[in-house]
Amino acid sequence: MQMGTVFQASTAVWPSQITLVDVTPRDGLQDADTFVTTEQKLAFINALIESGVRHIEVTSFMHPKWIPQLADADTLASRLPRVPGVTYSALIPNMRGYERAHTAGIAEVVLVVSASESHNKANLNRSIDASLHQLTEVATRAKADGIQVRGAIATAFGCPFEGAVAPEAVIRIAQAYATMGVDQVSLADTIGVGNPRQIYTLFTQIRTELPANMPLAAHLHDRSGYALANVFAALQAGVTSFDAAVGGLGGCPYAPGAPGNLSLEALTAYVEAMGFNTEISLPKLASARQQLLNDLAHGEPVTSGHSMRQTETASHHS
Ligand code: MG
């Protein structure tokens, strides 16, 4: 009887349509051991579009020193092919990043703050409140410029430094994003520690705490094979947008041991099986992946931006 109740509650929010966002050029490459050149990234993005992908997170406008793999953000963004129906987004840590993205013609920005203080410090070198203060200014500017804004919350289901993250910490940031007027709130399982029950519970809680109809997104990493079960749990909680990367590439330079992203191929097949129409061609996606893996295998080695970052962070704060 109890299961029947749960199912009834969830069918009320099960989405009729979902959006799949490929984050390979950003989250798939930001921790890579080798450089993928701007030309290679553009070729890959074209291959994604050819495969039917319509939403692509192309880069991150962090300081180039912190993430050398994405140091070409400005050039890449300004050279993206303009294709009707294709939306490019980019990760924005602060106002400077926003200005660079806007100048380069990016139409959708992803703001990010972590739900745990120590990850926010490692990732952005400031407190959560300082981040929210800055991001409020960025969101205000973006709205005035007619730019779409996604508000992402990293480490929403667990932190590499602090372990468990209180749901209240996530809800507080989600509410701050709603107050800023973001177009969507995204919860990220940055290190892939979330389980389906936790995903369902937190998204359901967030949905009830936020203004009605605030679109919700999930950014999942895949540890222990939980990611697809987490997708189902998120769907039951009314989540309508999912990030993924081809071949499950990626990690997080500031989250030690972070596993790869949810695989776009696995996600596509999974949601197609459940009746969603993605319009993504898996054979074409496979050749896009092969091309990128080949570029990665033959690229110049990257000198780690993240060890450099940790040294500087330590020297600023010790
Ligand atoms: Mg990630």
Angle formed at CA 44 by CA 66 and CA 261, multiple of 5 degrees:
60
**Distance from residue 220's CA to the centre of ligand 1 (Å):** 7
* Residue ranges per structural domain of the chain: 19-302
Give the C-alpha distances (Å, rounded to integers) separating 59 from 22, 152, 209, 218: 11, 15, 31, 18
Q: Identify the pLDDT of residue 1.
A: 41
**Distance from residue 52's CA to the centre of ligand 1 (Å):** 22
**Distance from residue 272's CA to the centre of ligand 1 (Å):** 23
Output the six-digit token pair for 203: 């998204």
**Distance from residue 5's CA to the centre of ligand 1 (Å):** 34
**Domain 19-302 fold:** TIM Barrel (3.20.20)
Output the six-digit token pair for 48: 């994604």
Transcribe 143-185 into DSSP letters. Answer: HHHT-EEEEEEETTT-BTTTBS--HHHHHHHHHHHHHHT-SEE
**Distance from residue 217's CA to the centre of ligand 1 (Å):** 13
Q: Identify the pLDDT of residue 315.
A: 28
Compute the distance between CA of residue 311 and CA of residue 276 in angstroms, rounded to an integer: 46
Give the C-alpha distances (Å, rounded to integers) separating 95 from 134, 153, 164, 302: 7, 18, 30, 27
* 252 annotated active-site: yes
Angle formed at CA 137 by CA 80 and CA 110, multiple of 5 degrees:
35
**Distance from residue 34's CA to the centre of ligand 1 (Å):** 18
**Distance from residue 260's CA to the centre of ligand 1 (Å):** 8
**Distance from residue 207's CA to the centre of ligand 1 (Å):** 22
Compute the distance between CA of residue 182 and CA of residue 105 in angstroms, rounded to an integer: 19
Single out the catalytic residue among 252, 258, 271, 285: 252
pLDDT tens-place values along the chain, 318 residues long = 444 444 444 456 999 999 999 999 999 999 899 999 999 999 999 999 999 999 999 999 998 888 999 999 999 999 999 999 999 999 999 999 999 999 999 999 999 999 999 999 998 999 999 999 999 999 999 999 999 999 999 999 999 999 999 999 999 999 999 999 999 999 999 999 999 999 999 999 999 999 989 999 999 999 888 999 999 999 999 999 999 999 999 876 677 777 899 999 999 999 999 999 999 999 999 999 999 999 999 999 998 655 444 433 332 222
